[in-house]
Amino acid sequence: MEPNTERIDLKPGNVLYPLPAVMVSCGDMGGETNIITIAWTGTTCSDPPMVYISVQPKRHSFEMIRSTGEFVINLVTEELARAMDFCGVRSGRDIDKWEACGLTPLPGKTVRCPIIAESPVSIECKVVSDTDLGSHHMFLASVTAVRVDGQYMSKRGALDFDAMRLVAYNHGSYNRLGKKTGTFGYSVKKRAAKKKREQK
């Protein structure tokens, strides 16, 4: 297929999609807790493992995260999509999101805030820095623990992300991750195998 060389110019904006759609739990198990839906999130470093979330100061969870220096990124399955959306459009100032969504808080292992039991993977984080970027503050954090629902572990001890039926955020819509189109390094594997055979 020939590439289309014509382009339409848009004003600069956030059009990097799809993005992870996650529920971030925060607060203190001994006090107030909350869940906030976040799409502005991602990996920043693999060694040491570090992630970030960006939060608007007006959000109820902002001061909880800022004061405790801790939060948990909970991955979202297709079954959790409705709860995730609810946690993004309702404020924890007005409602108990745990109760409203039928979600179960479990104590964190390395943080004081709870993880969401219904999530397949919960990533416990401790804030390293808080950067005011404009509309959002970016909380850069170290990953201190990864808690996994055992049913999503393969017999080889690897995470089975396909079985989780995870959801991504795509410019106002939630989409379940679908068909696998390749695996890491697949673009060179056949070539490497062929070269190896030819050298024998």
Domain range summary for the chain, segments of one domain joined by +: 19-199
Q: What percent of the chain has pLDDT over 90?
A: 77
Of the listed ranges 28-32, 99-103, 115-119, 189-193, the one predicted with least confidence = 189-193
Tokens 């608007």 belong to residue: 56
Fold classification of 19-199 is: Pnp Oxidase; Chain A (2.30.110)
Asked if residue 104 lies in contact with residue 117, where contact means CB atoms within 8 angstroms, the answer is: yes
Residue 99 near residue 57, CB atoms below 8 Å: no
Q: In the prediction, which pLDDT does 200 show?
A: 61
Query: Has residue 40 got a pLDDT over 90?
Result: yes
d(C-alpha 41, C-alpha 52), whole Å:
5
Lowest-pLDDT choice from 45-59, 127-141, 171-185 = 171-185
Query: What is the reported pTM?
Result: 0.90
Q: What is the per-residue pLDDT for 193?
A: 60
CB 147 within 8 A of CB 98: no
Residue 50 pLDDT: 98
Section 183-191 average pLDDT: 81
